[in-house]
Structure 1
Amino acid sequence: MADLVVATKEGLFCVPGKFYIDPWLPVERAIVTHAHADHARPGHAHYLTASPGAEVLKSRLGNITLEALPYGKKIIHNGVTVSLHPAGHVLGSAQVRLEYRGEVWVASGDYKLEPDGTCDAFEPVACDTFITESTFGLPIYRWDAQITVFDDICRWWRRNAEEGRTSVLFCYAFGKAQRILNGIDSTIGPIICHGATATLNRVYRESGVALPSTLSVHDVSAKEVFRKALVIAPPSAAGSPWMRRFGDYSDAF
């Protein structure tokens, strides 16, 4: 059989199904593996995504024609059986399983194997062909266990709080920020979130993900609160006027 999925200028294209997976140019029908901007782009006529990520996608792309598919549920489009399966990357992230004439292909999008408490864990899906996105898959990359990283963040935050210095942690607003919030010791001090992060925190909480209570900068009237706080902000906030209110701060990424 000819390739079920081919690379085109618009992105990955399922030939018999006549739809695309994470296309970067506007198309008629797009399956979106998750709502990060390099996968979920505006301008498509019809979107399909996994149900847990539907509200995130709408919060980022606005008024779109969106179909949400529960994990594992099968639909048939132009003779191709399609189902979405957890990728373990961020809330609603999915692998796309395609079955056609007895052959199964899976396109991963981003994925990770270590559970993080903020999304469904990666699910191995048997297939004949696996299309993998693996940004950090080269052997040169070696990562500490996430509990080690969380402990490092907490030690840094605790030390800064004891010295009266704000801890500013730059991290991506979608996925990374919520993973950190879910994993740190929230009893160390107040947690303040940039507005870009707070919007997505609300979607996560409404989806049933446990996140500690957080404040916005407008909730804080006393500078003493900042001095013990952990501030979660996107990298774009670095060097901006928004940062000036924290005075003497320690930052990390």
Structure 2
Amino acid sequence: MSKCGRERNKKVLQFENVAFSYHDKKQGRSVPVLQNINIDMYDREFIAIIGPSGSGKSTLFRLISGLENPDEGRIFINGEVQKCRLGKVGYMPQQDLLMPWRTVIENAALPLELKGVRKEEAHKQILPLLEEFGLRGMEHRFPHELSGGMKQRVSFLRTSLSGSNVLLLDEPFSALDAITRLSMQEWLMNQWEKRKATIVLVTHDVSEALFLADRIFIFTERPVRSLQEVNVPLGRPRRLNDLNEPAIISLKNDLIEQLRGKVIT
């Protein structure tokens, strides 16, 4: 049983002997990124992925989301091989990508509209969620009227409304100032605790990974042949002060040293 009390019995995301290469036009050859990767992620886990720039983290997300397909191997979502994975998982990119001509409620409604839900019905479903997401009274505001943290809340709400139980978050707080980022980390944890979803977070912030995740996967080589896995030795609920525990400080320092030694240029 994991530290957060969730049994690892239902796999929601699996990579089975997955390999992927991209074509380098300058060199005129294929460059391997992943080689025979095997990953299991479980129901309602919070997974963090860390690694130096260029190590393959974004490639992993592109494969999960269906923007790329593996050269070899299979990818399972909720126990089924999904050859076409577009729309099968929720995806929140680094930038909020809110449509500037749409209000908060109209931006949040986009995934429901794409499923054919009528505009009025979509708004009816979203209105009760606005207070929970800290957006009460903001439904008719446009993105330029929102703070950075509020924009990310709208983006996460939109991602949650994808209907998937697997949510991919690609450095969602990297553009925020330090204080807002800490506040958003606490908010995200609270949202995750309320929802029946598995979250996979890419981050360059080791402290963020330790605070949020049950397990951390580390990219340490290129091409990636295996992912080092670390179980975070913290129970739940958590507080930011838990990061000051001696064991966590030691683990943080170890992870930083690993990443410093694997910078990819």
Q: What is the TM-score when the length of structure 2 is the normalising length?
A: 0.25
Give the number of the structure whose residues are more often helix, by fraction.
2
More relative contact order in 1 or in 2 (CA 8 Å, sep 6+)? 2
Query: Over alpha carbons, which structure has the higher Rg?
Result: 1
